[in-house]
Amino acid sequence: MANNFNKVKNYLLEMEYTIISEDKDEELLVIENLRSGISNLIVDCEDPILVLELHLFDLEKTDESIFLRFLQMNREIIHGGIAIDETGKKVILRDTLQLENLDLNELQGSLNSFEVFLSENANELITISKN
């Protein structure tokens, strides 16, 4: 629904995120807030849910210990979690929210969770990405 898309877009602008690209037909935005460490975050209004996806890096090689560490990290993420795409290579930070009753605080909470996770785990994520 266009109303949900516009509501989400307005919330993001209010939170001072920059819209890098927008596809109104697909109800999809790509946003950034470089001060917060967020770049190329996909925001997709897939009624009835809002999908937030941030591609972190591609895995060069997979290893049980890496996946175990991702599961451990998931326990510490306030909203959302680390996911691997269908290829098994792309590491993604992902969250989903209900569009019907979405408010600014809820969206802000999810984005803040991404920011906190990235700031607290940056060094380890960089190390994993180089393996």
For residues 86 and 20, what is the distance between their CA atoms, to the nearest angstrom?
A: 25
pLDDT at 68: 95
pLDDT, residue 61, reads 84
What is the predicted pLDDT for the residue at 63?
Answer: 86
Give the CATH number for residue 74: 3.30.1460.10
The domain tally of the chain equals 1
Say what the pLDDT of residue 37 is. Answer: 86
How high is the pLDDT of residue 1? 58
Please state the rounded mean pLDDT for residues 16-33. Answer: 96
Q: Specify the pTM.
A: 0.92
Residues in CB range of 50: below 8 A, 6 or more apart: 4, 8, 43, 44, 96, 97, 98, 99, 102, 107
How many Cα atoms are found within 13 Å in the side-chain-facing hemisphere of 102? Answer: 25
Higher pLDDT, 39 or 131: 39
Identify which of 47, 113, 57, 43 has the alpha carbon closest to the alpha carbon of residue 81. 113
What pLDDT, in 10s, does the model give residues 62-116?
A: 889 999 999 999 999 999 999 999 998 999 999 999 999 999 999 999 999 999 9
Range of the domain at 46: 2-129
pLDDT tens digit sequence for 38-70: 999 999 999 999 999 999 999 988 889 999 999
| 3-state per-residue secondary structure call for the chain | CHHHHHHHHHHHHHCCCEEEEEECCCCEEEEEEHHHCEEEEEEEEECCEEEEEEEEEECCCCCHHHHHHHHHHHHHCCCCEEEECCCCCEEEEEEEEECCCCCHHHHHHHHHHHHHHHHHHHHHHHHHHCC
